[in-house]
Structure 1
């Protein structure tokens, strides 16, 4: 497993724990702003995990495709599509 995937996995596990905590907060009828702040924190972790996955894709899959000329255009098109989704939300 690549370093990027290890980081993404850890971030997602942390987010999962945080989401479990958020569910408990809602069940306990905790203050809305506190719940919202925790939701924002978990969203940040998921975004960071996505960034790690994309770094790994660029460092391995896209690099390999470009150096071997094996579907390089398709890999670049995939990255462009993902960036469009991220930027143009």
Structure 2
């Protein structure tokens, strides 16, 4: 699972750079469609990072909670997050 965390951090750092680039594009009055495409790319990486983080959460936190017979709360947390993802 450590690899998922590392990949999530890498993706988020990439998004950070993309957002800085998007801001610069706006300041330079670059073509709007190009800016929009960069925003879509950043959103895609954010979604990827979120999935990696949730995957790690399920494999670690939820699994441990289930072993301790405390899984209902963790499962409900995941359901709330999935509802947010689905509604978008």
User: TM-score, length-normalised on structure 2?
Assistant: 0.94
Q: What is the aligned-residue RMSD (CA, Å)?
A: 1.2
CA deviations over 1:27-79 (Å, ceiling 9, x no partner): 1100000000000000101110000000000010001111221x211000001
Q: CA deviation at 1:2?
A: 2.3
Number of residue pairs matched by the alignment: 88
Moved segments of 4+, more than 6 Å: none
Question: Where does 1:64-75 land on structure 2 (aligned, <5 Å)?
Answer: 64-69=64-69, 71-75=70-74
Secondary structure of the residue that 2:30 maps to in structure 1? coil
**Equivalents in 1 of 2:4, 2:15: separation in Å?**
16
Secondary structure of the residue that 2:54 maps to in structure 1? helix
User: TM-score, length-normalised on structure 1?
Assistant: 0.93
Secondary structure of the residue that 1:30 maps to in structure 2? coil
Unaligned runs of 5+ residues in structure 1 are: none
Q: Does residue 43 of the first structure (1) align with residue 81 of the second (2)?
A: no
Q: Does residue 15 of the first structure (1) align with residue 31 of the second (2)?
A: no
**Equivalents in 2 of 1:85, 1:35: separation in Å?**
26
